[in-house]
Structure 1
């Protein structure tokens, strides 16, 4: 049974139309005019680049002291970057306008310290099912065609958004990965087909015109058909350039709306609701938290943007409160009581800051610069009237370390930031359904899905938890053994006791 038959979803039609625009002309040119009506068109020479998740790579090579080994045609970019799988081949379905490709290469992920060994091979991309699958070998057992990520298929098949699956959470050892944003995926043809005259004879379903270079980026002009009418119908004189709508939006102006997704730090969230702090996490004022003790979403952005200068400043509504160690504070209150509110993100040619109002144990400090931000690109580009910056690296500042009571060191990596801002009132923001969020809700110690083994190693002084300084971002719970769990709990008790002594002094 094919991956398409296993996991076809309602978005398959939209994915098919987007894929057809990129692949239709090339596939027809490959076969020649005489065979343009064939349903299955062979494809070859493709590459898939995907990093799984940036914070997971940091965890493996950092706290887990592990390594990635790419072989058999796969490679990894420098600086612990994304993985590329090569020699992709498969088929293009000219009836459904979908592509199914398999790639060469294997990836071995090993940590002797945290006692895991994982191997990925036979990586596949299926635009009809809109997913990435791979054969996974773990604990000596191989499972074929494991769905690792759902993909939002786009016309160009570059930098496509991915969402990690439950199966991926099981493979990589962290329940928090289910539904979390993965790294973007790109599928491109590195070896273009050889065709001296890439102008096929028109067919009843599509008329393809191609530029002299027969590559997958050629402009495709399609006549109306039952498949393409919904979003791709165009006359021969119509422009298919997807960048044209962006020109209608002013290069600078006010932000109409927006959301910011940030988890602060995965291991800290687990610590708060785990067996050491026995606490709870609540959101309010328009913020929400994803299910499974997931990341937080802050909403209703206001601010300004300038795509010519590549600058953006956005303020977001909502607050998140962390409470723990009940009865440990003065008068039987909480030893940990921290609120982050009124978040602001700024970017200037790819770098910027994340600030928030910080209230700890009743004391409020406004506009604390918590983290330096570093986006993957210096360019701010609007697509469908929305500017999006995903997986923006957040690094703790000196001011942030001070705000967090000195138990962090400046330069510690926090959870990455995802932000999207709408430039017009009718622009559609991604992830608008917020199915897993719970505005004003809470995650308690009894309901948290991540255990105390990933907790931090401290409490609060002058405002903020101490345990985050030495823990890894999105640390998989399953990766820590019993010995590590005991060490974490002991460390938390020691630092908390230190805070009590400071308070009493």
Structure 2
């Protein structure tokens, strides 16, 4: 990683720390607070918990009062978010409407979550929890690794979450990703009078579009959403137009490949590992990957972008006598876009045989336009759809047309421009999977906003990872004494009856041949 890139990450961390300290040290000035409304929060708590409730616990989730759940036992969305954005500390505080009632027939528990709140300065989610006729206000359920885009943010469950959801294994465990998006018309911009009286919080009060990960939430990928109110400093910075074409100075690509595939590889069926290397990193909790050091060219007038990224990610599973039946590596990732449409390609190494420039996915960006702000082009939640060649690379594990995880891109156009904080690789080191499963159960993956990134094929990876994750702790806390080994065998049989068997048999045959 270049020295300039390290300085960028160090600056982002310093700004985030300063903002958080500033938020706790003294109340924000009234003039610095911009009212917000029309936001939604999507969070699935933990996918293995949802599977546990609806299967072993013989329970149900009932969202009311503006809350909803994605199909196939997916994530939950809470609506009507209102709050404030502090232009001094760049912190956002939002409260959301809706209640979620959770019941179990087999284990006899019932609880209700309401008044969910998200605080980017504190980096946490809280909720009022009602149990046994008693309500506890503002219970911290998870800490949040806040990102600039506010989409697919990594969460870590708290000790209180372990008590609420009945599992001693939850404290410190990865929860589902969290997304906060604007879904209604933007609020009016602050008046010139308010702008003039707003004092800077610190020397880090630079243009919002490239500063702190706790910046104001960005919009969702939906074509109907609008941009949120820019801060005065961001408005001023956008008036300087960058060059319309040239070479990319630096950049990153965030992509999780496919959530259900990651869960399958590290789950109790494949019992494998995931390794990010050569400039790629993986986010904590078996999260998404970040590929770095982009090179290439752009033309904002023509709407074209060609970029290549350093880094490799390797998936290994099904070890037999020291050899892996599944051994798949993606490297040299390349993106080619024209007017929002294009492809994602990579070199694919499958059991030692390398194929170069395999087109893994067709890409579709939310907008056909390429817009540079502060000499940075960002594209969030670009839809990725598996191609025929990509399906072959996965050994038939998924079929062509399957939804892969969305892609996010950030490219600097000048040496002095700062990359925004990424969603992957911030805490993951080299990202070697633990082999215990990430709890990706059946149903939709991702955020649940648009069906999730794991909507297709999630049954294969999810069934195994649910059992291999934290389910044993959940059952133990409710008094059940179901052997995890027996559940693992049952899960393995279920997967073998589906697409998992196709992959395993293919890998074994390949080794024999």
TM bucket (normalised to shorter chain) is 0.5 to 0.7
Which structure would you say has the larger RCO, counting Cα contacts within 8 Å and 6 or more residues apart? 2
Given candidates 437, 450, 453, the residue that maps to 2:437 is: 450
**1:52 maps to what in 2?**
43
CA displacement, residues 421-444 of structure 1 (integer Å, 9 cap, x when unaligned): 2222222223379552324x644x
Q: Is the 8 A contact 1:68 1:108 kept in 2?
A: yes
Query: Shift in Å at residue 258 of structure 1?
Result: 1.2
Instruction: Give 1:141-180 correspondences, 5 Å limit.
Output: 144-145=137-138, 146-148=140-142, 150=144, 160=150, 163-167=153-157, 178=174
| Structure 1: gaps (5+ residues) | 1-7, 28-42, 193-214, 234-238, 456-466
| Match in the other structure for 2:340 | 350
**1:182-234 deviations in Å (ceiling 9; x for gaps):** 324349898x8xxxxxxxxxxxxxxxxxxxxxx4544432247474776389x
The residue number in structure 2 matching 1:221 is: 195
Q: CA deviation at 1:299?
A: 0.9
Q: Does 1:278 align with 2:271?
A: yes
Distance 2:92 2:182 in 1: 14
SS in structure 2 of the partner of residue 221 of structure 1:
helix
The 1-side partners of 2:329 and 2:17 are apart by 40
Encode CA deviations 1:120-169: one digit per residue, 9 max, x unaligned: 41122446535443235699996642254648598xxxx64573431289
Cα distance, 1:338–1:242 mapped onto 2, change above 3 Å: same
Distance in structure 2 (CA, Å) of the matches to 1:68 and 1:306: 48
Where do residues 38-117 of structure 1 align in structure 2 (5 Å cutoff)? 46-52=37-43, 70-74=63-67, 83=77, 85-86=79-80, 88=82, 102-107=95-100
Q: Distance in 2 between matches of 1:50 and 1:166?
A: 16
The match for 1:380 is 370
Deviating more after overlay: 91-100 vs 284-293: 91-100
Aligned positions of 1:96-495 closer than 5 A: 102-107=95-100, 119-126=112-119, 128-129=121-122, 131-136=124-129, 144-145=137-138, 146-148=140-142, 150=144, 160=150, 163-167=153-157, 178=174, 182-186=178-182, 215=188, 217-219=190-192, 220-223=194-197, 225=199, 227=201, 231=205, 240=232, 242-246=234-238, 247-327=240-320, 333-431=323-421, 434-439=425-430, 442-443=432-433, 447-450=434-437, 470-471=459-460, 477=469, 485-490=488-493, 491-492=495-496, 494-495=501-502
- Is the Cα–Cα contact under 8 Å of residues 283 and 320 in structure 1 kept in the other structure? yes
- State the alpha-carbon separation in 2 of the partners of residues 139 and 24 from structure 1: 43
Supply the RMSD in Å over aligned alpha carbons: 5.3
Secondary structure at the aligned position of 2:402 is classed as coil
CA distance in 2, matches of 1:371, 1:129: 37
User: CA, structure 1 residues 479+110, in 2 after alignment: closer, same or farther (shift >3 Å)?
Assistant: farther
Q: d(CA) in 2 for partners of 1:404 and 1:93?
A: 46
The Cα of 1:337 is off from its aligned counterpart by 1.7
Secondary structure of the structure 2 residue equivalent to 1:222? helix
The counterpart of 1:11, out of the listed 2, 10, 19, is 19
Deviations 1:440-488 (A, max 9, x none): x644xxx434269979xxxxxxxxxxx9675368976457997874344
Relative to structure 1, the CA distance from residue 74 to residue 468 in structure 2 (aligned partners, 3 Å threshold; closer, same or farther) is closer
Deviates more, 1:144-153 or 1:424-433: 144-153
Listed one character per residue, the Cα deviations across residues 386-433 of structure 1 (whole Å, up to 9, x for unaligned) are: 222333332222221122222321222223323222222222223379
Q: How many residues align?
A: 425
3-state secondary structure, aligned to 1:51: strand
Pair 265,438 (structure 1): closer, same or farther in 2 beyond 3 Å: same
Q: Give the corresponding residue for 1:204.
A: none
